[in-house]
Amino acid sequence: MIRSCVTIALVNDIKTGPWIFWADLEQGMAKASELGFDAIELFTASAAAVDQIELASLLAKYKLKLAAVGTGAGKVLHGLTLTDPSETVRKQAISFISDMIAFGAAFGAPAIIGSMQGQQGQDRSQALAWLAEGLALLSHQAKEKGVALIYEPLNRYETTLFNTLEAGVNFIESADLRNVKLLADLFHMNIEEADMPASIRAHVRHIGHVHFADSNRRPVGNGHTEMGPVASALKEMGYEGYVSAEAFPWPDPDAAALQTMKAFKQFFRD
């Protein structure tokens, strides 16, 4: 069964980013619950930034699940990536993500590696070796804690590593990263994929999470993405996971959340 999810960001430095609710964890969860979302996707400054006991209490109170945790603050706040030329920085990146894996796994939620993958630099083969090494270590840690590790192909303006599902699949298979799943972000896919539904159909067994946003990264219904065929591909191919609104809070968080739930019901429930 495909389940609905909405993003909550608690990092002041990323307030221009594509997250629906901001700053107030309980308020965001209360609104998510009221609108009927199944889960939240959480972006925090670090694994220690949210008290786990408090989070567990709030999840129970509002009858929500934790779908995933983002690791982007490691890049935004500290400049950490898995492909940095500095071995020290790479080790710090692995440590940061390891902590996020443990934080999410306490709630059965995977960690997402997006911006922390970094760039290829001048030597692509070396960057890919570092990426494979980091993902292998981190995916093993995630497996030990009972969760997958989510790797996100980004568009060409955000990374020079992998930009499509096919490229991501080829990489994780060649590196034998068996506990790594891909994040199918519909905003990035709109830029990079020649045929979004076809790409989903071809690679659905590798998809572990979906980001639900329109072509302009506003909530679905405010751009030009043809969401019907995309949703049909996910449903027909048996995807069972979350579609999470990683979208701009346009025109405001409440309206964005309401539109997201309206779109979710239209494409995945009707």
Of the candidates 41, 192, 193, 246, the residue annotated as catalytic is 246
Residue 128 CA to residue 162 CA, distance in Å, equals: 10
Helix axes 124-144, 87-105, angle to 10 degrees: 30
* Pairing status of strand 21-22 against strand 111-113: unpaired
Tokens 């048996």 sit on residue: 238
The rounded distance, in Å, linking the Cα atoms of 158 and 50 is 28
Phi, psi of 145, deg, nearest 5: -100, 5
Active site residue 236: no
Active site residue 152: yes
Dihedral pair phi/psi, residue 181, rounded to 5°: -110, 160
Task: Establish whether the linkage from the previous residue to 251 is cis, with ω within 30° of 0.
Answer: yes
Active site residues: 152, 246
